Amino acid sequence: MRTIAIINQKGGVGKTTVAANLAHGLALLGKRVTILDLDPQAQLSATLGVVGHEPGMDEVLLDGASLESKRRKVRENLYLVPANMRLAEIERIQDKKLSHGQRLKKALEGQLDDQDIVLFDCPPSSGLIVINALFATGEVLIPMLGEYLSLQGLSHLMGTIKNFEASLNHELKQWIVVNRFQRRRRLANDVLNKLMEYFPESVLATPIRDATALAESPGFGQTIFEYQPRSACANDFSILATDLVEERVMTKDSPYLSNQEEA
């Protein structure tokens, strides 16, 4: 079972959009997937059609409930453990014992062993919830935009993860996905080239193109595969899911590294 935390301390990078559509893309490949909504805002849950802030991760991390008892099937091969606002109470724990940062790791012990991949959709912060995710995961997936500020934020996040690995007793495999990619923009191409220069083994092979449909689909409780299944961005997410399964990274001869305009 692979555990992958989808994380970025910077908001507005489309992290939850990536989480929901990647999870569904993996499920459509036939992978057995469970995704944990670790954001008290529960936007992932709403995107997958679960509204009303149902109990889920709050009862797992605060009350000791089992993950398997709180997950629900949301698509074929895809299960969700939802979130609600009560989950934010974990950030107000005053006693900063190491054990509080390992609640998710302990909750996973003996749970979800029938799954191929367990994804964590993390909040845009560096608080106790994210610490729980880092202790529990073996891999980190970082969505980012083709902008210089995103590049600067990524450098800081990579440093944070590197410092945190000393407490983990193992290294976290790190993946980067470029979201809302606009190939015609020189800035986006410049940032992608910088990513390849600094993190050549981490950039997944397929960027996700910018599309209005990705912003619209959560309002219908749908992923892009349901809202516009024949769209370019649905195709991007399908290929990205395969990239992650096969651990395919971008190479120097990738067509995305050229400055040519799309036809």
Amino acid (one-letter) located at 262: E
The whole-model pTM stands at 0.92
Query: Could you list the pLDDT tens digit for every one of the 263 residues in the chain?
Result: 999 999 998 888 889 999 999 999 999 999 999 999 999 999 999 999 998 778 999 999 999 999 999 999 999 999 999 999 999 999 887 565 667 889 999 999 999 999 999 999 999 887 899 999 999 999 999 999 888 777 777 878 888 888 888 877 778 999 999 999 887 778 888 888 889 888 989 999 999 999 999 999 999 999 999 999 999 999 999 999 999 999 999 988 888 876 544 43
Q: Which domains does the chain have, with CATH numbers?
A: 2-247 (3.40.50.300)
Give the integer Cα–Cα distance in Å for 225 and 222: 8
Crossing angle (nearest 10°) for helices 148-168 and 186-198: 20
Amino acid (one-letter) located at 242: T
Residues constituting the chain: 263
Burial class (CB in 10 A: 0-12, 13-18, 19+), 37: buried
Q: How far is CA 167 from CA 104, 155, 160, in A?
A: 16, 20, 12
Give the integer Cα–Cα distance in Å for 75 and 184: 35
